[in-house]
Amino acid sequence: MKEAGMAVGSFSVEYPAVEEDKIAAADWNLWVRGRWIRSWKGKYSIYWHQEDDGGVLDQPAYEAILQRFGLESYKAELPLGKVQLMSPSALLAYRRAKGLPVQIVLSDTPGDHRSAEEYK
């Protein structure tokens, strides 16, 4: 299991963890570049941990990403395997290509709430 403080340059989408004493997140460019991974931390911890399976997206993480980017109704066009490799800026570009209203999407990364546009 990898541990780290949230790395500068990662984009995070937090979502409810199964265990009440944890916080879950889907992270772009945290320990692995060019794809989303799942991570978690204890509610009162400062350290994030990559899931033991390498952080491969699961259904809750996938749905949290789609929801954050306002793309829930495009699940058929954006399967989990495709979203796993789409950067935050690519997800915003997809919104634009579909003619959806402009949406500002900020990272949940502690201390680094930059716009999704900055994450290629």
Res 2 pLDDT > 60? no
The residue among 59 and 32 whose pLDDT is bigger is 59
Number of domains in the chain: 1
Residue 75 lies in domain: 3-118
Q: Is the pLDDT of residue 22 over 80?
A: yes
CA-CA distances (angstroms) from residue 75 to 33, 35, 62, 120? 24, 18, 10, 21
Largest CA distance in the chain: 41
Fill in the DSSP letter of residue 19: S
Residue 91 reports pLDDT greater than 80: yes
pTM: 0.87
pLDDT band at 84 (very low <50, low <70, confident <90, very high): very high
Query: How far is residue 35's CA from residue 52's CA, in Å, rounded to a whole number?
Result: 16
* Cα→Cα distances 111→5, 56, 78, 80, 114, Å: 11, 25, 30, 28, 9
Q: Is the pLDDT of residue 87 over 50?
A: yes
